[in-house]
């Protein structure tokens, strides 16, 4: 099973793992991105995710096809949430299963790194002081990945 989805409801990583589990796999790797309470030293209260939906879904499909091919993965689920998320909520979940751990780890890592490079999804951070800002990773202080 390989599928991607943009969702507007809460992501349930445990349910994704359950849906992919099989006795044929010795490894299931989960990456979950969650809403952190600080950003560059500023207190965050929420993040509003938006997307160019049709292209984002197409890019996600392309990325999972590449990952499946590259790592020999046949079970891979990616969900990315859109809308206003509270602190601690899951914004993205990537679950990959394989007979062995290395391809499962490598697959989830590849998918999240590619999402950050080329899936047209944006986030507006809302701060506890009432201000808000579009996140631009190309201008990040120190240019570290978020």
Partner 1 sequence: MSTVTVQLFASYAESFGGPTLNVPLKSGSTVADLLDSMRALPGASILPDSPRVAVNRKFATNDQLVDARDEIALIPPVAGG
Give the C-alpha distances (Å, rounded to integers) separating 10 from 7, 43, 48, 90, 131.
8, 23, 14, 7, 25
Q: 59 vs 97, which CB is nearer to partner 1?
A: 59
Residue 49 near partner 1 by CB under 8 A: yes
Rounded to an integer, what distance in angstroms lies between the CA atom of residue 52 and that of residue 16? Answer: 24
Residue position matching structure tokens 């201000």: 131
Residue 118 found at the interface with partner 1 (CB under 8 A) = yes
**Residue 129 binds partner 1 (CB under 8 A):** no
Residues 6+ apart with CB under 8 A from 8: 81, 82, 83
Residue 44 lies near partner 1 (rule: CB under 8 A) = no
Stretch that binds partner 1, among 7-15, 16-24, 66-74, 114-122 (CB under 8 A): 114-122
- Taking CB under 8 A as the criterion, the residue among 46, 74, 84, 116 binding partner 1 is 116
CB of 123 to partner 1, least distance (A): 5
DSSP label at residue 67:
H
Which residue in the set 27, 122, 126, 127 belongs to the binding site for partner 1 (CB under 8 A)? 122
Please count the other Cβ atoms lying within 10 Å of the Cβ belonging to residue 112: 19
Number of residues in contact with partner 1, rule: CB under 8 A? 30
**What distance in Å separates the CA atoms of residue 109 and residue 10, rounded to the nearest whole number?**
22
For tokens 């570290």, the residue is 144
68 in contact with partner 1 (CB under 8 A) = no
98 is a site residue for partner 1 (CB under 8 A): no
List residues near partner 1 by CB under 8 A.
33, 49-52, 54-56, 58, 80, 91-92, 112, 115-124, 134-139, 146
């Amino acid at each position: 099973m390989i599928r991607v989805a943009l969702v507007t409801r809460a992501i349930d990583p445990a349910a994704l793992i359950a849906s992919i589990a099989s006795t044929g796999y010795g490894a299931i790797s989960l990456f979950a991105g969650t809403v952190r309470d600080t950003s560059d030293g500023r207190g965050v209260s929420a993040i509003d995710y938006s997307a160019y939906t049709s292209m984002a879904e197409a890019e996600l499909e392309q990325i999972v096809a590449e990952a499946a091919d590259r790592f020999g993965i046949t079970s891979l689920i990616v969900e990315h949430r859109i809308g206003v998320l509270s602190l601690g909520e899951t914004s993205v979940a990537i679950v990959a299963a394989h007979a062995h751990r290395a391809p499962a780890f490598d697959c989830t890592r590849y998918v999240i790194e590619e999402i950050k490079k080329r899936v047209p999804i944006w986030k507006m951070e809302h701060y506890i002081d009432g201000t808000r800002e579009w996140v631009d990773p190309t201008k990040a202080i120190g240019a570290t990945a978020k």
